Chains A and B, each alone.
Chain A
Amino acid sequence: GQQVMQIPQYQHVQEGEDFTTYCNSSTTLSNIQWYKQRPGGHPVFLIQLVKSGEVKKQKRLTFQFGEAKKNSSLHITATQTTDVGTYFCAGPGGGDYKLSFGAGTTVTVRA
């Protein structure tokens, strides 16, 4: 069935540096969503990408959807301590109504 793979699992970043997390699907996705979960919290929706090659920005966060709609990335510029948490990608998978999440990238920031 549909699987969404996410790398890296952990990202340790120096404050002020950039980093990217990647999401890959075994099949074409109709859309992809990104969520952020702060330590001890619940996942919170960040964005949804629908179109092939789509790029969306939210302040220091840049989201991309691949041309083949099978991969996506989240790039964070000038990392801050507020970026700490786990970032998940999620896409429809294994049928019309199942949602498949990646394992997440857990980000820690060194001040």
Chain B
Amino acid sequence: EAQVTQNPRYLITVTGKKLTVTCSQNMNHEYMSWYRQDPGLGLRQIYYSMNVEVTDKGDVPEGYKVSRKEKRNFPLILESPSPNQTSLYFCASSLEGLNTEAFFGQGTRLTVV
């Protein structure tokens, strides 16, 4: 089954404790991205990747890091989480970027206390 898998689905952590949210897709898609969803703000792009070893900032990259060492994986790293990073996070992939449909993961609900 074609899918985008995120883990964990839920996470409560403390300020400053490094964490990683994993994202994996099995569709051989080139383009992957991370979004955060906050009430009234829709989906805001954090980082995106056009292909292996190619990443770039989205609209809200501060406080986040990503890497794309393999085509299927695109982890999101929070080196020192803060409460304002409490949000719902989605990973998405698409075959060729912005002109093809995006497939979203199930989401990760992150709470930073």
Contacts and interface: CB of A to CB of B under 8 A. Distances in A.
Interface residues on A, range: 20 to 34
B92 to A, nearest CB: 8
B23 to A, nearest CB: 12
Interface string A83-101: 0000010101010111111
B44 A99 contact: no
B48 A42 contact: no
A101 B35 contact: yes
What 9 A-B pairs have minimum CB-CB distances, sorted nearest first? Answer: A45-B101, A103-B42, A101-B43, A42-B104, A92-B98, A101-B42, A43-B104, A104-B42, A42-B107
A98 B45 contact: yes
Nearest to A89: B42
Contacts of B102: 33, 35, 43, 45, 90, 99
